[in-house]
């Protein structure tokens, strides 16, 4: 047995001597551009072919890229367009890529802000408020059309933009092209919302998706290759025990083949190993990482809920301590008690049922309707959360209701 002092000494020494599994921890962050992009050759080639006309000053088709989260859409699109920019420059053609992530409220909250952000990307300062939207378009349009050039406009997570502002904006952007005299504009829309195109106005849909690229989820073997590529950069040789990569890949493949999830698992595993002053990532670290990521996800979701939903969660947690099968009728009683304790307005039973259904959608609880014979039907709630998540949630809710 080591004394606490010896233990700490070992941690400090290892840290100072640089004993860590990491060689380059940046390689596992989301902003890192990997050196290799395994299993996306076909997408890279397809996108390259669609964009190639820009190298001759012709207009590439507008393109719509879709597929589930973590399938490499952003990575591949940014990679291909930035290579295009470089090759074009070497060939004496001007290609400018403007990338905006529409999910970031700061840059794409409204149509106005999006255009202002895009103008800024090409070096034109537009005040972030105050002008009529028409005029912002005009400024952007003139800046674009000042010279012969290809502008490739990437609107990532485009569904969030349309959700907030309607699809008029896409119409305006795709239409802009027919008015340009010198420049040519291509719009690339990216989304992980698979039903997004169906909800668009057909007119907008047909102009936005002249071409479409679908990214399918990775399988476990493909995820392994992605993880191996990253590990070589990120970790010291022999820093990863056999089976670790396979396990991270398998867990992520179970969810839906999300490379981000796989990389997160590996990164958190490595951080846990490092925190334990160990120089090898083992299978136990992956288990712990999985648990930690789950906890963080549930805690973040609950944190982001409105106060009333938090009261419903509190009520469910209170009941779950007493009985295994929580039914919605009981939740309403327990919810009223929570509201009284914290001075909250009591919503109707119907509203509370809606909130419960919402929590089910978020995956925090699981509800099932069962028949009670002649007593009608009732909804049974189960919590599929581990004890440690429940503990974390209780602490969180204590803080929420105290503050």
Which residues on neighbouring strands pair with residue 382, listed in sequence order?
366
The interface partner of residue 38, options being ligand ATP, Mg ion, none and the CB cut-off 5 to 8 Å by kind, is ligand ATP
Interaction mask 21-40, ligand ATP, x per CB under 6 A: ---------x---x--xxxx
Closest CB to Mg ion: residue number: 74
Taking the complex as a whole, the smallest distance from the CB of residue 355 to ligand ATP amounts, in Å, to 27
69 near ligand ATP, rule: CB under 6 A: yes
Residue from the set 73, 93, 184, 247 that interacts with ligand ATP by CB under 6 A: 73
User: 400 CB contacts (<8 Å, ≥6 apart)?
Assistant: 303, 307, 310
Q: Which is nearer to ligand ATP, 296 or 327 (CB)?
A: 296
Q: Which is nearer to ligand ATP, 67 or 239 (CB)?
A: 67
Considering only the stretches 62-70, 284-292, 309-317, 366-374, report the one whose residues sit in contact with ligand ATP under the rule CB under 6 A.
62-70
Q: Phi-psi region for residue 358, left (φ > 0), alpha (ψ -120 to 50) or beta?
A: alpha
H/E/C letters for each residue in 220-283?
Answer: HHHHHHHHHHHHHHHECCCCECCCHHHHHHHHHHHHCCCHHHHHHHHHHHHHHHHHCCCCCECH
The 10 Å CB-count burial string (b at 16+, else e) for 346-379 is bbeeeebbebbeebeeeebbebeeeeeeeeeeeb
Q: Segment 158-187, which members bind ligand ATP (CB under 6 A)?
A: none
Q: Quote the CA–CA distance of 290 and 298 in Å, as a whole number.
A: 12
Taking the complex as a whole, the smallest distance from the CB of residue 307 to Mg ion amounts, in Å, to 31
| Number of neighbours of residue 173 by Cβ within 10 angstroms | 24
DSSP structure class, residue 19: -
Interaction mask 46-85, Mg ion, x per CB under 5 A: ----------------------------x-----------
Q: Which is nearer to ligand ATP, 217 or 282 (CB)?
A: 217
Handedness of CA 7, 9, 10, 11 (dihedral sign): positive
Q: Which is nearer to ligand ATP, 53 or 229 (CB)?
A: 229
Q: Quote the CA–CA distance of 217 and 296 in Å, as a whole number.
A: 24
Taking the complex as a whole, the smallest distance from the CB of residue 99 to ligand ATP amounts, in Å, to 12
70 near ligand ATP, rule: CB under 6 A: yes
Taking the complex as a whole, the smallest distance from the CB of residue 68 to ligand ATP amounts, in Å, to 7
Distances (CA, A) of 180 to 60, 145, 275, 315: 15, 6, 57, 59
Instruction: Classify burial at 73, counting beta carbons within 10 Å of its beta carbon; exposed 0-12, middle 13-18, buried 19 or more.
Output: buried
Q: Quote the CA–CA distance of 281 and 286 in Å, as a whole number.
A: 8
User: Alpha helices of 39-101 — where are they, by DSSP H?
Assistant: 41-51, 73-90
Q: Which is nearer to ligand ATP, 94 or 228 (CB)?
A: 228
| Number of neighbours of residue 341 by Cβ within 10 angstroms | 11
Residue from the set 74, 174, 308, 314 that interacts with ligand ATP by CB under 6 A: 74
The interface partner of residue 84, options being Mg ion, ligand ATP, none and the CB cut-off 5 to 8 Å by kind, is none
The interface partner of residue 48, options being Mg ion, ligand ATP, none and the CB cut-off 5 to 8 Å by kind, is none
Contact indicator for 35, 233 with CB cutoff of 8 Å: yes
Residue from the set 188, 226, 313, 326 that interacts with ligand ATP by CB under 6 A: 226
The interface partner of residue 257, options being ligand ATP, Mg ion, none and the CB cut-off 5 to 8 Å by kind, is none
Contact indicator for 291, 334 with CB cutoff of 8 Å: no
Interaction mask 255-294, ligand ATP, x per CB under 6 A: ----xx--x-------------------------------
Q: Which is nearer to ligand ATP, 195 or 371 (CB)?
A: 195
Taking the complex as a whole, the smallest distance from the CB of residue 229 to Mg ion amounts, in Å, to 19
Binding footprint of Mg ion on the chain (CB under 5 A) = 74
Q: Which residues bind ligand ATP (CB under 6 A)?
A: 30, 34, 37-40, 67, 69-75, 192, 215, 226, 229, 259-260, 263
């Amino acid at each position: 047995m080591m004394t606490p002092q010896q233990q700490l000494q070992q941690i400090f020494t290892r840290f100072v001597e640089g004993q860590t599994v990491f060689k380059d921890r940046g390689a596992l962050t989301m902003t890192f551009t990997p050196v290799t992009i395994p299993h996306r050759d076909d997408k890279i080639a397809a996108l390259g072919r669609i964009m190639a006309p820009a190298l001759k000053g012709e207009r590439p088709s507008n393109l719509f890229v879709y597929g589930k989260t973590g399938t490499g859409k952003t990575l591949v699109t940014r990679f291909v367009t930035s290579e295009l920019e470089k090759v074009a420059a070497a060939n004496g053609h001007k290609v400018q890529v403007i990338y905006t992530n529409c999910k970031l409220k700061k840059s794409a909250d409204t149509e106005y802000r999006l255009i202002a952000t895009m103008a800024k990307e090409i070096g034109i300062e537009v005040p972030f408020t105050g002008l009529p939207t028409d005029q912002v378009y005009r400024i952007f349009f003139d800046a674009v059309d000042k010279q012969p050039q290809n502008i490739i406009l990437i609107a990532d997570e485009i569904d969030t933009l349309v959700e907030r502002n309607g699809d008029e904006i896409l119409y305006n952007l795709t239409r802009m092209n027919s008015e340009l005299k010198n420049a040519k504009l291509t719009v690339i829309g990216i989304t992980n919302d698979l039903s997004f195109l169906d909800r668009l106005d057909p007119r907008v849909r047909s102009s936005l998706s002249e071409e479409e690229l679908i990214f399918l989820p990775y399988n476990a073997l493909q995820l392994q290759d992605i993880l191996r590529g990253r590990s070589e950069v990120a970790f010291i040789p022999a820093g990863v025990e056999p089976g670790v990569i396979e396990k991270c890949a398998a867990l992520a493949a179970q969810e839906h083949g999300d490379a981000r999830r796989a990389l997160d698992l590996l990164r958190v595993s490595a951080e846990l190993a490092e925190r334990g002053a160990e120089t090898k990532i083992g299978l136990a670290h992956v288990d712990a990482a999985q648990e930690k990521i789950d906890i963080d996800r549930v805690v973040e979701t609950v944190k982001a809920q409105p106060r009333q939903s938090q009261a419903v969660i509190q009520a469910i947690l209170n009941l779950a301590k007493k009985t295994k099968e929580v039914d919605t009728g009981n939740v309403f009683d327990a919810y009223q008690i929570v509201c009284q304790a914290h001075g909250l307005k009591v919503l109707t039973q119907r509203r509370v049922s809606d909130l419960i259904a919402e929590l089910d959608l978020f995956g925090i609880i699981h509800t099932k309707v069962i028949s009670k014979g002649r007593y009608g039907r009732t909804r049974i709630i189960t919590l599929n959360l581990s004890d440690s998540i429940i503990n974390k949630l209780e602490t969180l809710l204590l803080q929420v209701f105290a503050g």
